[in-house]
């Protein structure tokens, strides 16, 4: 699998943030910086199903702690 790396200037990033925040449907977001995107619902994959997270990226400390706690359970599968 080839990794794609993009270097975006500030103007492009600002336009993308506006577009994402205006979008009124489901969107998968994979990012190391969720601070500018207005995410209203977040899900984790646990027990072979999508489950809503208790916290959202607007409370990053709790949100990331919840995802890390879920990691051992969410990604382990029975042998």
pTM for this prediction: 0.50
d(C-alpha 77, C-alpha 45), whole Å: 12
d(C-alpha 28, C-alpha 16), whole Å: 14
Provide the β-strand partners of residue 45. 50
Largest CA distance in the chain: 48
Q: What are the residues whose beta carbons fall under 8 Å from the beta carbon of 3, sequence distance 6 or more? A: none
pLDDT of residue 79: 40
pLDDT of residue 11: 87
Q: What are the residue ranges in the chain where pLDDT is below 70?
A: 1-6, 71-79
pLDDT of residue 16: 83
**Six token digits for residue 69:** 């706690």
pLDDT of residue 39: 81
């Amino acid at each position: 699998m080839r990794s794609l790396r993009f270097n975006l200037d500030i103007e492009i990033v600002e336009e993308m943030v506006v577009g994402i925040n205006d979008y009124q449907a489901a969107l998968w977001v994979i990012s190391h910086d969720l601070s500018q995107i207005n995410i209203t619902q977040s899900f984790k994959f646990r027990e072979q199903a999508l489950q809503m997270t208790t916290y959202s990226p607007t409370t990053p400390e709790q949100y990331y702690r919840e995802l890390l706690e879920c990691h051992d359970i969410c990604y382990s599968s029975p042998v």
